[in-house]
Structure 1
Amino acid sequence: MHARDIMTRDVETVSPDDDVGEVLGRLARAGFNGFPVTEDGLVVGIVTQGDLVDLFQPSDRTLWIPIGFPPFLESLTYAIDLSWDELDLGIDLARNAGRPVSEVMTEDVVTVGPKADVDELLALLADDERDINRLPVVDEADALLGIIAREDLLRALKRERDAGKPAG
C-alpha cells in the first residue's frame, strides 16, 4: 500500500493571495483543519487553523490569575479567552481584512510522493515534534496530486487488516 492508494484526489486548496478572513470562513465550514496553498497547481505552502489562531484570538487576551499572597511571585496563565465575542471577531476580521494567506502560511511543507509507503506515512503523521495532520502528495515538480489525512491512513490500515483476517 502506497500514498497513491490512500490519498484523496479531490483536494480543496487556497491561493497565496486569498484573504485570511475568507480562508477562516472556509475552514469553519470544512470537515478538516487546513488547506494546501497552491499556485499554478504547485504546492507553495499550507495554512491551518493553528496559523490563524493568533490573528483571531491574540494572546494579549489571556487571563492571568495570581497565586498566593501579595507580593504575587507566581501566576497561572489560562489559555481561555473570556472576552472573545462577536465584537472581538468583527474587530479581528476588520484588522486582518485583505491580508493574504501568504503572510501566515507555513512555507516549509512536508510532502510525500505517490510511491511513499505506509511506514513513511506513519512516521510523518505520528511524529510528535512535527504534529502533522495532513500530508500533501506531490509529483517531482511539487504539483499537487492528492492529500492524506491521519484518518485516511487509519482507515486504510483497518481495511488492510480486516481484509487479512480469516473468515469466521
Structure 2
Amino acid sequence: MSKDPSASYKSRDRGPIEFESKLHEEEGRIMTIAERDVITIPPSLPIKEASEKMVRNGVRRLPVTSPGTEKLHGMLVTRDIVDFLGGGEKNQIIEKKHNHNFLSAINDPSKIIMDRDAPYADNKSSISDVAKILIEKNVGGTPIVDKERKVVGIVSERDFARYIPSPAQTRVEAHMTQNVVTAEPDLFLIDIMKRMINEGFRRLPVVDNNKLVGVITSVDVLEYFGTSEMFEHMSSGDAKDAMAIEIRELMTKNPITVDPKADLGETARRMEKHGYGGLPVVENGKLVGLITERDIVELLT
C-alpha cells in the first residue's frame, strides 16, 4: 500500500529506471541537491506572520531556529497551519485558549504549533538516506544541519524530483496511486481540512458528476489564510464563517493532467515547471490515478 493515503494501492510493476550508479556517485553528498539559502523564522514569530512569509516566499515549510545560536528548534509546515485553522487538535488553541477569538489566536508565537520533534538530516548524509527519512517519517522535506545542529540547507520532495533523469525509462502508471479518493466541489473548507489532517491528505482531486474539475491542496488553504483572503469572509472575530466557504472557491480549476503512459522523468520536469507537487492522471477523460513528488522520492529508497 502506498504511504500516500490518497489511494488504496499502487502498481508493483515499477518498470526499469537506471540511475542507481548516479546515486552511488553522489553518496554522502546531500548538499549537492539541497537548497542552501534557507528561510528560517524565530520561535516568537506570530503564526499569521509565519504564514504570510510562507506564501510570500513560495515555501511549504520553515525551520524554526533559536535566536543567537541559529540552532534548529523545530519545523513549521503547511500541515501545522491547516491543523491550527480547524483541521485538528491544534485548533483547540483558538477554541479554548482564546475562547474562539481567532484574531487574537493568530498572534500567538509559531512555536506553539510547530513540530518540535521534526526529523532532520546531517550535511554528510547520502541522498538516498535522506530520501528514506522523508518516506519513513512521512514528511515532504527536512532541514539539513551541521555538527552543531545549525541549519545549512533544506531539501524537499521537489529537490528529489529534479534529480530523476528525463526520460526515466519508466511510465507514470507504474508509480502512480490508484483508486484515488476525491472530493466534491460543494464541500466546505472545514471538512476538507479535517480530512487532510485525520487521513493524511495533502491534495484531493475535485470531481463533479464523474468529471475532474479541480484539485484542492493544503497550499490552497495556506494561501487563503496567508494572503488574508479569509478575513474578507469573516463577519466577526470568529473564523467559522470563513471556514464555511465551498472548496470550489479555492481549488485550482481545470488542472493540468498527465497520461498514464507518459514518461515519469518528463512528468517530473512538467511538475517542476508548473510548481505542482502532484498531477491527476487521466485516461480517455477519466481520472485513473494521481502521481506525486512522493512517488518519485520512493524510487530513491
TM-score calculated relative to the size of structure 2: 0.38
Q: CA deviation at 1:51?
A: 1.4
Number of the residue aligned with 2:287: 144
Partners of 1:135 and 1:30 in 2: CA distance: 19
1:93 to 240, 244, 247: 240
Written as runs of structure 1 = structure 2, the 5 A alignment for 1:8-157 is: 8-56=177-225, 59=228, 91-97=238-244, 99-127=245-273, 130-141=274-285, 143-155=286-298, 157=299
**Is 1:4 the equivalent of 2:147?**
no
Q: CA deviation at 1:58?
A: 5.2
Q: Is there any run of 5+ residues in structure 2 with no aligned partner, and where?
A: 1-169, 230-236
Distance 1:41 1:153, change over 3 A: farther
Partners of 1:151 and 1:54 in 2: CA distance: 22
C-alpha deviations, 1:77-110, integer Å up to 9, x for none? Answer: xxxxxxxxxxx6xx2233332x211111110311
Higher relative contact order (CA 8 A, sep 6+): 1
Partners of 1:3 and 1:49 in 2: CA distance: 23
C-alpha deviations, 1:112-136, integer Å up to 9, x for none? Answer: 0111112221212333xx2211111
2:300 to 148, 158, 161: 158
Distance 1:119 1:54, change over 3 A: closer
Residue aligned with 2:290, SS: strand
Partners of 2:225 and 2:268 in 1: CA distance: 32
Contact 1:113 1:138 in 2 (8 A): yes
Residue aligned with 2:214, SS: strand
Number of the residue aligned with 2:44: none
Partners of 2:277 and 2:242 in 1: CA distance: 29
Residue aligned with 1:126, SS: helix
More moved, 25-34 vs 130-139: 25-34
Contact 1:56 1:92 in 2 (8 A): no
Contact 1:133 1:149 in 2 (8 A): yes
Once the two structures are aligned, what percentage of the paired residues are identical?
Answer: 30
Contact 1:138 1:146 in 2 (8 A): yes
**Residue type at the aligned position of 2:282:** V
Q: CA deviation at 1:57?
A: 5.1
Q: CA deviation at 1:149?
A: 1.2
Q: CA deviation at 1:56?
A: 4.2
Q: RMSD between aligned alpha carbons?
A: 2.4
TM-score calculated relative to the size of structure 1: 0.66
Residue aligned with 2:300, SS: helix
Moved over 6 A (4+): none
Larger C-alpha radius of gyration, 1 or 2?
A: 1
Q: Is there any run of 5+ residues in structure 1 with no aligned partner, and where?
A: 61-87, 160-168
Aligned positions, number: 127
